[in-house]
């Protein structure tokens, strides 16, 4: 079922579970959450126990949202499935917020917790407008400082990275669904098919239609 495969692929990308993907987000082991205090020093046993309990409760909520999303995907309800994925992503962000340090990030780039949070937000919102200001707020930096730190950590500007991820998502949808390019463009956050084609050719080196035909062959 094409819609099911699409949503399962979106689920894997959102949660950072795909192997070999540059955008994969690796979650820390459960016991690592709360292992350090806000200034990087070890937390007390009471703080660690409280954080572990909080994390387990939140992760249970995440699992519930993901199972509901998969249920919706199996019934071709892509809208509810995407909404459940957004909720799961927000729950995971709340776990990060619980113990994220408030200080400035490591010199030259984003702190590891900020990298994870920004990646997660981008992956969950590729089909919607994403502003640098909102990403900067997630990382607790000014927009100007954030853009410099983002480039150091990701090797690209925020807009450049987001465009590349949207093109990669479009590639996945072209191979896993029979949706027309006009719909794929919308699903990946592009204004229209023409904009997708222009950016796709710039990044991939050929048009989306030619790229798709070369890998799937002519329609039956």
| 120 assigned to some structural domain | no
Show Cβ contacts of residue 83 under 8 Å, excluding neighbours closer than 6 positions.
none
Share of the chain above pLDDT 70, in %: 53
| 135 assigned to some structural domain | no
Range of the structural domain that residue 174 is part of: 162-216
Chain Cα centroid distance, residue 67 = 18
What integer is the mean pLDDT of 27-31? 39
| pLDDT score of 200 more than 60 | yes
What integer is the mean pLDDT of 104-117? 83
Q: What is the pLDDT of residue 91?
A: 66
pLDDT band for position 90 (cuts 50, 70, 90): low
Show Cβ contacts of residue 98 under 8 Å, excluding neighbours closer than 6 positions.
33, 34, 51, 54, 55
| pLDDT score of 82 more than 60 | yes
User: In whole angstroms, how large is the CA radius of gyration of the chain?
Assistant: 19
Overall domain count for the chain: 2
pLDDT band for position 18 (cuts 50, 70, 90): very low
Which of 71, 99, 127 represents a domain boundary (last residue)?
Answer: 99
Q: What is the pLDDT of residue 108?
A: 84
Which of 57, 84, 99 represents a domain boundary (last residue)?
Answer: 99
The answer to which of 102-106, 144-148, 150-154 has the lowest mean pLDDT is: 102-106
Residues 85 and 171 in one domain: no
| 86 assigned to some structural domain | yes
| pLDDT score of 129 more than 70 | yes
Which region, left, alpha or beta, applies to residue 33 given φ > 0 means left and ψ of -120 to 50 means alpha? beta
Residues 92 and 21 in one domain: yes
Burial class (CB in 10 A: 0-12, 13-18, 19+), 219: exposed
Q: What is the pLDDT of residue 50?
A: 52
Residues 94 and 5 in one domain: yes
Residues 167 and 85 in one domain: no
């Amino acid at each position: 079922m094409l819609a099911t495969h699409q949503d399962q692929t979106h689920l894997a990308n959102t949660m950072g579970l795909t192997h070999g993907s540059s955008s994969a987000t690796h979650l820390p082991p459960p016991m690592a959450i709360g292992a350090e205090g806000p200034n990087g020093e070890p937390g007390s046993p009471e703080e660690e126990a409280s954080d572990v309990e909080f994390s387990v409760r939140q992760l249970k909520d995440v699992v519930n949202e993901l199972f509901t999303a998969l249920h919706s995907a199996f019934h071709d309800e892509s809208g509810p499935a995407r909404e459940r994925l957004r909720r799961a992503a927000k729950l995971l962000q709340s776990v990060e917020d619980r113990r994220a340090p408030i200080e400035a990030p490591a010199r030259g780039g984003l702190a590891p917790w900020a990298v994870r949070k920004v990646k997660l937000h981008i992956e969950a919102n590729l089909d919607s407008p994403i502003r640098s200001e909102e990403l900067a707020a997630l990382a607790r930096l000014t927009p100007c400082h954030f853009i410099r730190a983002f480039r150091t950590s990701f090797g690209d500007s925020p807009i450049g990275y987001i465009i590349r991820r949207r093109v990669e998502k479009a590639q996945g949808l072209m191979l896993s669904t029979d949706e027309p390019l006009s719909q794929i463009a919308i699903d990946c956050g592009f204004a229209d098919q023409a904009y997708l084609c222009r950016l796709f050719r710039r990044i991939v080196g050929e048009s989306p239609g030619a790229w798709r035909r070369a890998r799937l062959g002519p329609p039956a």
